[in-house]
Chain A
Amino acid sequence: MNQGGINKGVINNRAWLIAMGFAVVGLGLGTGHARAAADQPQSPPVYSAPALYNLGNSYARAGKPAMAVLNYERARVLAPTDPDIQANLRHVRETAGLPAQSGHWLQQHSRLANPDTMYWLGVIGLALAGVSLLLRRLKFKYRGALAAAASLGLLLTALGVWDSAATAAILDESVVMQSSPASASPIAGAEPLFTVPQAEVVSVRDQHGEFALIRDPSGREGWVARANLTPIIPQ
Chain B
Amino acid sequence: MTYHDLVIIGGGPAGLAAAVSAHEAGIDDVLILERDERLGGILNQCIHNGFGLHTFREELTGPEYAERYIEKVLDCKIPYKLKSIVADISENREILYVNSDEGAVTVKAGAIILAMGCRERPRGALGLPGYRPAGIFTAGTAQRLMNIEGFSVGKKVFILGSGDIGLIMARRMTLEGAKVICVAELMPYSGGLNRNIVQCLNDYNIPLKLSHTVTKIHGKERVTGITISEVDANRRPIPGTEEYFDCDTLLLSCGLLPENELSKSAGVTLDRVTGGPVVDDKLQTDIEGVFACGNVLHVHDLVDYVSEEAERAGRQASEFIKSGNSENKEYIKLSAGTGVRYTVPQMIDVKNMSGSVTVRFRVSDVFRDKAVSVYYDDKRVICRKKRILAPGEMEQIEIKKDSFDSKVPENIKICVEEQI
> A and B: partners?
no
Instruction: Show the binding face of A for B, using Cβ within 8 Å.
Output: none
B residues in contact (CB < 8 Å) with A: none
